[in-house]
Amino acid sequence: MRNFAINLAIEAGKILQDYFGRKITVSHKGQIDLVTEVDLLSEKYIKEQIASHYPKHQILAEEGGLSLTSSDYRWIVDPLDGTTNYAHGYPIFCVSIALEQAGKVVLGVVYDPTRNELFVAEEGLGALLNNRPIHVSEKALLKDALLVTGFPYDIKTTTKNNLNYFSRFALTARAVRRSGSAALDLCYTAAGRFDGFWEMHLGAWDAAAGVLIVKEAGGSVSRFDGSEFELYPPKTKTMEILATNKLIHQDMIRVLADDFVLPT
C-alpha cells in the first residue's frame, strides 16, 4: 500500500501540473473558499484508483466526503491542498494522501509537483523526502524560530480567526510565514525548514498525512494547550494543531494560552 499511495500521489500531481497556469473553472464553496475543476479531476482519479485496488476500503476526501464501509482501512485524501494558490497561479500546492488503520494513521504521502518533492512517512519507520531521511530542526529558542500558519476560510465572520495568535508570534518569534498549504507547512516543519506550525479549523484531509510525517521526523504534535491532537474533534471543539520540533513546543503553548501577555 505504501508504493500504491506514492504512485497515486505522483500521478495525481501530474494532473495538477498539467492544468497549472491554464484557464480553469473555479467555483465557490464559501465567500473565499474555492474549488476548481482540477480539485475534482484529481479527486476522481484518486478515488477510482483506490476503489479499483482496494474496493472494500473507506475513503474520506475533501470534496466527496466519506464513503463508509466495514473495513478498518480509510484513505484520507486532499486532491489539491492549496486551491486558492493554484487558482491564482501561485506555485505552492500539493496532493496529500494518508492511510488510517483502525483509527490510527499509519501512512502519509505528500507530493509537491512543482518542486518534485515527495514526503513519505510510515508509522515507526521515520520520514523521508525523496527517499532521504528528514528530521525536525534543532532551534531551541522561540526568538530564533521561523514559524508558519494559516487562516480559516471564515476569517471575516468568526472571532476565532488566528489574527491574535499571528500578532503574538510575529512579536515573539524571528519571523512568521503564511504559505496557503497546511500539508506542505507540516512537511516543511518535518524537514526543518520551519521550526513550528499552528493552525485551526482544518479538515482531516489537510492534516492527516502531514501530522504523521512530523511525528516520524522527530517532532511533536498537539492541540494548542498541549493536549492530544484530534484528527476528528467533536462538533463542540475546533480542530487545533500545533506541530513543532519539540524544543519550542512548550514556548508556543505559552504564547497560545488565553492569559498570555507580551513581555515588555
Residue 210 has pLDDT above 80, yes or no: yes
Residues 186, 211: contact at Cβ < 8 Å? yes
- CATH assignment at residue 161: 3.40.190.80
- Decide if 263 is inside a domain: no
Dihedral, CA atoms, 35, 58, 207, 199, nearest 10 degrees?
70
pLDDT of residue 236: 86
Average pLDDT, rounded, for the chain:
94
Amino acid identity of residue 178, one-letter, is R
Boundary residue ending a domain (80, 112, 133)? 133
- Co-location of 95 and 161 in the same domain: no
- Co-location of 24 and 78 in the same domain: yes
- Decide if 26 is inside a domain: yes
- Decide if 264 is inside a domain: no
Helical (H) or strand (E) element with 86? helix 83-87
Q: How many structural domains comprise the chain?
A: 2
- Co-location of 165 and 243 in the same domain: yes
Cα(155)–Cα(159) distance, integer angstroms: 8
- Co-location of 86 and 184 in the same domain: no
Residue 224, classed as helix, strand or coil, is coil
Q: Which domain does 190 fall in, by range?
A: 142-256
pLDDT of residue 31: 60
Q: What angle do CA 200, 60, 4 make, to 5 degrees?
A: 115
Residues 207, 186: contact at Cβ < 8 Å? yes
Residue 128 has pLDDT above 60, yes or no: yes
| Average pLDDT of span 161-186 | 96
Boundary residue ending a domain (74, 109, 133)? 133
Residue 102: other Cβ atoms inside 10 A:
9
Cell numbers given for 35:
474549488
Q: What angle do CA 134, 211, 154 make, to 5 degrees?
A: 130
| Average pLDDT of span 140-165 | 88
- Decide if 262 is inside a domain: no
Distance of CA 14 to the CA centre of its chain: 20
pLDDT for 22-60, tens place per residue? 877 777 665 645 678 899 999 999 999 999 999 999 999
Boundary residue ending a domain (87, 108, 133)? 133
| Average pLDDT of span 198-219 | 97
| Average pLDDT of span 112-133 | 98
Cα distances (angstroms) measured from residue 209 to each of 82, 107, 158: 15, 7, 27
Cell numbers given for 51:
476503489
- Of the candidates 237, 253, 157, the one whose C-alpha atom is nearest the C-alpha of residue 202 is 237
| Average pLDDT of span 69-91 | 95
Residues 97, 13: contact at Cβ < 8 Å? no
